[in-house]
Amino acid sequence: MTIQFDRRFVLMGLAGAAMPLPVWAQDLEARVATLAAQYQPKVVAWRRDIHQNPELSNREVRTGKLIAKDLKRMGLSVRTGLAGNGVVGVLKGGKPGPAIALRADMDALPVEDKTGEPFASKAMGEYEGKAVPVTHACGHDAHVAMLLGAAEVLSQMKADIAGDIVFIFQPAEEGPPKGEEGGADVMIRDGALDNPKVKSIFGIHVWPGKPGELLYRPEGFMAQTDRLEIQLHGVQTHGSRPWDGVDITALAADITQTINQITSRRLNITKEPTVVTISIMEGGLRYNIIPETLRLAGTMRTFSKARRDEAIDKVTKVVEQLAASYGATAKVEFTMNAPLTYNDPQLSKDIFPVLVKAAGEGKVSDKATLITGGEDFAEYQKVVPGVFCFLGIAKPGEDPEKIPPNHSPYFNIYEPAMEVGVRAHALAALFMLTREASV
């Protein structure tokens, strides 16, 4: 069955005869817009509160309690404790129908807040044994606030909704600390998509794009991500006599430079983007001692299994060969954080006019370039069809190419854009319910 939407959200049947949706749906856009504007001050307040009280992956205790309390106040059925601190709220519509899901992530990053906002984070936390500053440098504070806003909007329309809307608030999207489990795959294992059984899912991520614009693409959108760990072992010696040992600090520098050359010289990046980045170098205890061991860590981004396998093979061989040339040894380990974010092609096509109603004419594109960032929203898309899109949060007049990106200590958002996110969540949910009911 083909689904097509005009200004009244009319469903087209097999014979092509127009079958109007219930009267409540005919003013759908206006009702959602009015309620989203009404709740926008509350969305801003939620965002600022969560921003000022950030929590690292698998530590989102306060955030989870705040979400659960507000969802219960809205009259939703609430489950807590999924994947640790995850929360699932179910809005049961007044009429029978299928179930769909909306998702937001909750965790912050070990980054210092340098935005200068009056609600800037001053929080500290512990990450893998180290005391670190904590802030929402990726915008998950806005994600939670927008999804709570959508829950407020849709709860006011409950009597007219045919089906169930599942609100998923997920911990540890940034990846659990080493040695722990968490994130979307654990949410799924713990039943986030069950009871009721979800048929499709939608999600939003803020990023430094034009304010209020929505951007996505069908099929592969965001990269598969891997965590890279390299353990080097040499021979410790005095810093004044490097020839008496095996200098793994020089080896580490050589490895970093050579890995950069793999992605620019040994992989065909015109066929598929590939990124390998070394972001951590740890080792040594004293300025005049060359250490025995040293750790490198980083990330790899690919868009297919074939390219992932090729990159792993080349990086591993290069690192081991360089280590051998120095008289050292190296252990290389890749661990997948998130699979490829894959937007269902048909749902991507069908939802486009709905997103236009949320953002406005000329403010939605389904022709985004590939994004080398990764998202474990992809785990849900392995189970049910889903669409994941970006919401621009640059200030009016700012050049999105020149403002601080996600994960920067200066990353900030233009809060009025969140109203578009609330509308997009709400309209996408209502659309997906209608779409699933027609299949």
CB 164 within 8 A of CB 92: yes
Tell me: is residue 143 an annotated ligand-binding position: no
Q: Are strands 214-215 and 364-365 parallel, antiparallel or unpaired?
A: parallel
Distance CA 429, CA 201 (A): 8
Task: Tell me the three state secondary structure of residue 324.
Answer: helix
Q: Burial-class residue 220 by CB neighbours within 10 Å (0-12, 13-18, 19+).
A: middle
Number of other CB atoms surrounding residue 371 within 10 Å: 22
- Examine the residue annotation and report whether 107 is marked as an active-site residue of this protein: yes
Tell me: is residue 29 an annotated ligand-binding position: no
What is 139-185 written as a DSSP string?
A: SHHHHHHHHHHHHHHHHTTGGG-EEEEEEEEES-TT-PPTT---SHH
- Examine the residue annotation and report whether 213 is marked as an active-site residue of this protein: no
Which DSSP category does 312 fall into?
A: H
Tell me: is residue 152 an annotated ligand-binding position: no
Distance CA 319, CA 362 (A): 48
Beta bridge partners, 227, equal 299, 335
Tell me: is residue 238 an annotated ligand-binding position: no
Beta bridge partners, 19, equal 11
Which one from 107, 152, 272, 344 is the annotated catalytic residue? Answer: 107
Tokens in use for 264?
Answer: 């620019």
Distance CA 419, CA 153 (A): 11
Which one from 70, 164, 173, 247 is the annotated catalytic residue? Answer: 173
Instruction: Supply the residues annotated as catalytic.
Output: 107, 173
| Binding-site annotation, residues for Mn(2+) | 138, 140, 174, 205, 407
